[in-house]
A and B are shown apart, each in its own frame.
Chain A
Amino acid sequence: MIGGLFIYNHKGEVLISRVYRDDIGRNAVDAFRVNVIHARQQVRSPVTNIARTSFFHVKRSNIWLAAVTKQNVNAAMVFEFLYKMCDVMTAYFGKISEENIKNNFVLIYELLDEILDFGYPQNSETGALKTFITQTGIKSQHHSKEEQSQITSQVTGQIGWRREGIKYRRNELFLDVLESVNLLMSPQGQVLSAHVSGRVVMKSYLSGMPECKFGMNDKIVIDKQGKGGASEEAAGKSGGGGGKQSIAIDDCTFHQCVRLSKFDAERSISFIPPDGECELMRYRTTKDIILPFRVIPLVREVGRTKLEVKVVIKSNFKPSLLAQKIEVRIPTPLNTSGVQVICMKGKAKYKASENAIVWKIKRMAGMKESQISAEIELLPTNDKKKWARPPISMNFEVPFAPSGLKVRYLKVFEPKLNYSDHDVIKWVRYIGRSGIYETRC
């Protein structure tokens, strides 16, 4: 199991050091600094073995988090834990920075004592932790007996992510379908790979212990219902009526509140949500993706000292919708001396420090086309190696789900309190963003 956990600043100074196992000595702290943080070359692996001691590290801005062990630990678990540790810290004091860590080091030690015992991760749900580990350090002493046992049963319990007795005057929930669409396209316009990785983020302000059921236009469910006939529930029908097409989900993963065995058996998504925000599910699709933009590059080398670049972008969605925050990044060679750009729409600038022409458009409606052309002057070099031509990348945001996913229903039942599904105010929003959206040129 994890033998110790260290946090360093960018210089390699230790900010936090907590050792859980006897086999990890103080010299481990220095070994990591010398061999990884101060190493001259780029990090070649997130796992490093130095003198039979293994170091796992992740970096958040310029802060290094390293877990150390001498045993054959579950490596995936260690990384998951490090990410979780970052989440917990962020939830407590915001951005992970040297300043914040120093300011909260007592709190961090307290957290580390709680969420890692003898190197075994324990309950790390922020919601639960916040009930008894507080920044003031005082609250914990004034719990009544009932409160104490409530805390402990929540921390260890079956539903560790929610406490009993939550009350809201207005029961409300927000669903965000956030997708990032990834594309790799050849210069000839052939899709080399494309996939959507999506997340359903739920913000709920519901009283009591609400049972929720979530439905979407999952092909498997729709097909099953189609066979099952009209006997299906009403929500199913209305959803089916709204958008006939269904989508094939390659794979999905759920927040720990979702009953996985039920999903496996009936493909229904039922759960008691944590209070506040949670990422309910993640999914991935690869079929019938709506690619919101098409990038058509044209690069011509004119002699040894000049490049001509022309890039056309075409939007490919309903004309009534608007894409936002569009940015096209056209890489330029390292020996660029000057650039002239002409674009029809938006603003374009050559950024020498980034070796790229950045073309920004604020808004663009569907089924439109725009174009940029640039002349790049090059300094003559005697470098034999050809320019690697990195791909043209693109960023954007569109108000629909490129995978085609639709939320069909989210039903809420609270058997003990007297509010029904109809009383809950529900909001659904779709946002499609670019992930790694690249076209080779």
Chain B
Amino acid sequence: MTDSKYFTTTKKGEIFELKAELNSDKKEKKKEAVKKVIASMTVGKDVSALFPDVVNCMQTDNLELKKLVYLYLMNYAKSQPDMAIMAVNTFVKDCEDANPLIRALAVRTMGCIRVDKITEYLCEPLRKCLKDEDPYVRKTAAVCVAKLHDINAQLVEDQGFLDTLKDLISDSNPMVVANAVAALSEIAESHPNSNLLDLNPQSINKLLTALNECTEWGQIFILDCLANYTPRDDRESQSICERVTPRLSHANSAVVLSAVKVLMKFMEMLPKDLDYYGTLLKKLAPPLVTLLSAEPELQYVALRNINLIVQKRPEILKHEMKVFFVKYNDPIYVKLEKLDIMIRLASQANIAQVLAELKEYATEVDVDFVRKAVRAIGRCAIKVEQSAERCVSTLLDLIQTKVNYVVQEAIVVIKDIFRKYPNKYESVIATLCENLDSLDEPEARAAMIWIVGEYAERIDNADELLESFLEGFHDESTQVQLQLLTAIVKLFLKKPTETQELVQQVLSLATQDSDNPDLRDRGYIYWRLLSTDPVAAKEVVLAEKPLISEETDLIEPTLLEELICHIGTLASVYHKPPSAFVEGSRGVMHKRLPARTGSGESTESPDVGTAAGGSAPEAAPSIIPSQGDLLGDLLNLDMAPPTTSGPPPPTTGMQMGGMDLLGGGLDSLLGGDLGGSPAMGAGFGAAPAVMPASLNAPVGGGLGDLFDLGGGVGMPMGAYIPPKIVWLPAMKAKGLEISGTFARRAGVIQMELILTNKAMSIMTDFAIQFNRNSFGLAPAGPLQVLTPLGPNQTIEVSLPLSTVGPVMKMDPLNNLQVAVKNNIDVFYFSCQYPISMLFVEDGKMERQVFLATWKDIPNDNESQFQIKDCHLNSDAASSKLQGSNIFTIAKRTVEGQDMLYMSIKLSNGIWVLAELRVQAGNPNYTMTTIRRSGS
């Protein structure tokens, strides 16, 4: 008997017939009918109308029929939630069945029915199943917790399932452990800050033991989980590596890749001079090569990962060039990836072989592959200087083939070779010019035009060549138009006498007849340059160009580090961080490689701490929110608008209501010990009367920082300085990392910055500029970075600020948008300064004036809030606040309450008056603030 016949029922009235069959008395007929229903469901027909009839078949002893009904339920329960309830009883009963297979089936299916009412009934059976005597039921129940969490996270927490799940990590059955790990990992992903997995040396040990015993899939779950752990020191790291290396011999490629991920990550922590480090490097190569004999799809995944590994640690595979040679029958996606890796591994030692191969590939059939091969030859020339000459002659051979796309590709790369080795290979220009007519792609045309312009003095008929392009100027792509414009200007500067007409023609085409602003602008610039100062024009246009670097397509280092942490996953296949293709909260956090630490050292650096959590989000600064505002002001810096966006800044007390003028942050700030820093509070989050409308504006910052409890008496007086946070992560700024804070020292506001160069090249020419902001903050001097910043160097800079810059209201008020420029690019970030920084030293109001003012200000301007858990007495609080220029004017005691009256003056002349009510023994303060509009 075959089942294929179920696919063929397509006549009308089918549903009606099925209904009758489902209600038949004969078991066989019922089963047949359910099969037909499932077949219709598979091909996409809507059979939800049969819901009650199918559910009626659920009460059966026939397991096969039961499974079919369950399958139907999982598909349609959501569309018929009320009827789905009918099934609950059977599920609950099945969860008590004597047969473990049926118990598991029931709990597995119930978890897939995403109906709220059902999930309520699921809790009790699930609780029992998690403690079932049979491991098969337990392993199924473990996954069911993840399912339930996906439907109703709160319910899972309330019912205490997470704790039970954690207990399962110590289960005696390896498969239960593996599924519990998988479920916990998934749940932990949606709670980045929870310590759900609680990885510590003991739990890691349990996982490593289970690793030896569980199925191949379980091993993958465990290894992927291990990769999130950060060992405390190099010894622990080594011992984990030792226990993971045997996995490299597993037949399942995914196990191998996950093991590679763990090793690549933990290796970071090992000292390089350690013998074991070398051994490990050697052990990694063979399994990676073996992955290439897997099925093509897996080869592809492996190659994408090897591409990352080769960039991170080229030494691992440097002797394995041959295995990446392309086979004639490889699928195209494998061929292209192999080619990429070949170029990365190309060196002086193997260049002859590589070139011979590349030449072979350039004659293949697939156009993309051939193009890439030709381009690869050019990249070899640039990468390995000794081979440049051979590469050029190979390219010339290829140009002789006259195959259109080969010629075009060759010309594009030869342009790069000219730029890398000036004045060496220009003899080939004549050959290139012969092929001018066959170029039909913009990139090749642009490259050729560049060559003609650049070497105009050596090409006799340069003017004719360029003129020929000019005829169809408006049909060309922008790339070609721009290049043509520049080339003709170059030509003019080199041969002014005979090309005057040509240059005028192109300038008028570019400036008058074009709609493209870039082209027009460039045209005008040239025009003015040429008409005002031809000598300067020559210096600008014919300036010596910087040499191009060796490898242009390397993945940016911070991204590479992140991708290494995702080896084996989709992120490593796409070469994109998960946040780029995953929706929602999952995968948003960035993973990082651990820092190298010796066993004796403490690992308190915030980086390690973050990584240890495995999932804590980086303290990323917010990226400038609106491009519009910025453009107007920053355009004079000639910068492109920022395109990235990031998570909001993790500033405390951001979510304040309108009336909560002085910051909800107060609570946390007064209560928390801020890392033992010599602290007065920061961020007096006031929204003083910058403009009357600002009363209801949400304000950032936290007053509470001002009351730090950790300090107490005898600590140095002075304004509180918040700890430095990373404002600009290296990932977003081509390797430049900026962290910093604000401080007020001796009446001067300072922006204290730490610049770290995490890129491979030297950074120079730093400059800084602020956008307009609420308090007119502006740099009082240039950014003093006198020496170039080498790779991995860090420099601390203190930038004095003035408050006389242009004012524009920001949201939040204390938001500051900053642009930093260096020789590489311009970067934008935004940060928030503590308002307390703006409190000036002469903020002490005379008592009489204070009283008068207090009465004067209308009640609307008043706001009140509580500061909780502050254990200072009123005097201590008063002296502490004074350090941040919050002055106590008067104090009175009413019914056991101390009332402190205080005044603050902001840098823009706004006064804020405050009343602080402190009740002895009550750690909660009440503060009322009023403010007066500008003086």
Contact = CB atoms under 8 A, between A and B. Distances in A.
A416 interface: no
B566 A72 contact: yes
Interface string B164-178: 000000000111100
B616 interface: no
Interface stretch (A41-49, A171-179, A401-409, A422-430): A41-49
A75 to B, nearest CB: 5
A80 B298 contact: yes
Interface string A366-409: 00000000000000000011101111010000000000000000
A192 B217 CA distance: 37
B108 A44 contact: no
Interface stretch (B37-45, B388-396, B637-645, B731-739): B37-45
B254 A74 contact: yes
Interface in A258-291: 259-261, 263-264, 279, 281-282, 284
Interface in A34-79: 42-47, 49, 52, 54, 56-58, 69-77, 79
Given A160-B215, A253-B290, A14 B43 contact: yes
A252 B569 CA distance: 23
B333 A70 contact: no
A246 to B, nearest CB: 17
B574 interface: yes
A335 interface: no
A389 B363 contact: yes
B297 A72 contact: no
B219 to A, nearest CB: 8
A71 B250 CA distance: 25
Given A123-B175, A140-B101, A72 B586 contact: yes
B100 A76 contact: no
A113 B216 CA distance: 18
A132 interface: yes
A186 B140 CA distance: 56
Contacts of A92: none
Contact of A152 (B64, B135, B144, B327): B135
Given A72-B578, A75-B301, A105-B39, A253 B44 contact: no
B277 interface: no
A80 B254 contact: yes
A52 B583 contact: yes
Contacts of A117: 108, 140, 143, 179
B328 A390 contact: yes
A14 B220 contact: no
Interface in B227-251: 243, 245-247, 249-251
B403 A385 contact: yes
Contact of A72 (B139, B287, B365, B582): B582
Interface in A142-176: 143, 145, 148-149, 151-153, 155-158, 160
Interface in B22-59: 35, 38-39, 42-44
A117 B217 CA distance: 12
A251 B581 CA distance: 35
B454 interface: no
A353 interface: no
A217 interface: no
B360 A440 contact: yes
B101 A79 contact: no
B569 A99 contact: no
Contact of A255 (B42, B44, B251, B327): B251
Interface string B326-357: 01110111000000000000000000010011
Contacts of A21: 150
Interface in B124-166: 134-137, 139-140, 143-144, 146-147, 150
A124 interface: yes
Contacts of B508: none
A192 B64 contact: no
Contacts of B403: 384-385
Interface stretch (B1-9, B703-711, B886-894): B1-9
B62 A156 contact: no
B193 interface: no
A2 B111 CA distance: 16
A151 B101 contact: yes
B296 interface: yes
Contact of B67 (A13, A113, A197, A251): A113
Contacts of B290: 250-253, 282, 284
B30 to A, nearest CB: 14
Contacts of A73: 569-570
Interface in A229-251: 250-251
B101 A132 contact: yes
Interface in B293-307: 293, 295-298, 300-302
B215 A47 contact: no
B71 A251 contact: no
A49 B64 contact: no
B569 A75 contact: yes
Interface in B358-376: 360, 363-365
Contact of B364 (A118, A149, A388): A388
A139 to B, nearest CB: 9
Contacts of B622: none
B570 A118 contact: no
B387 interface: no
B217 A124 contact: yes
B249 A260 contact: yes
A421 interface: no
Interface in B807-859: none
Contact of A45 (B150, B295, B300): B300
Nearest to A122: B217
A312 interface: no
A148 B4 contact: no
B587 interface: yes
B486 interface: no
Contacts of B7: 102, 105
B100 A385 contact: no
A15 interface: yes
Contacts of B402: 384
A71 B582 contact: yes
Contacts of A284: 286, 289-290, 293
A382 to B, nearest CB: 12
Contacts of B111: 118
A245 to B, nearest CB: 21
Contacts of B212: 259-261
A258 B104 CA distance: 29
Contacts of B147: 118
Contact of B297 (A56, A71, A149): A56
A29 interface: yes
When A and B form their complex, which 7 residue pairs have the shortest distance between CB atoms, in order from nearest? Answer: A137-B64, A251-B286, A152-B136, A102-B4, A76-B254, A264-B246, A260-B246
Interface of B: 2-4, 6-7, 35, 38-39, 42-44, 61-64, 67-68, 70-71, 75, 98-101, 104, 108, 111-112, 114, 134-137, 139-140, 143-144, 146-147, 150, 173-176, 179, 182, 186, 212-217, 220-221, 224, 243, 245-247, 249-254, 256-258, 286-287, 289-290, 293, 295-298, 300-302, 322-323, 325, 327-329, 331-333, 353, 356-357, 360, 363-365, 401-403, 566, 568-574, 578, 581-583, 586-587
11 contacts: A15-B42, A71-B570, A71-B582, A74-B220, A74-B257, A76-B302, A80-B252, A82-B297, A113-B67, A148-B100, A252-B249
Interface of A: 1, 13-17, 19-23, 26, 29, 42-47, 49, 52, 54, 56-58, 69-77, 79-83, 99, 102-106, 109-110, 113, 117-118, 120-125, 132, 137-138, 140-141, 143, 145, 148-149, 151-153, 155-158, 160, 184, 186, 192-193, 195, 197, 250-256, 259-261, 263-264, 279, 281-282, 284, 384-386, 388-391, 393, 436, 438, 440
Given A105-B6, A284-B293, 13 more contacts: A17-B42, A19-B75, A22-B114, A74-B257, A148-B100, A152-B104, A152-B135, A152-B137, A155-B136, A156-B139, A386-B363, A388-B365, A438-B328
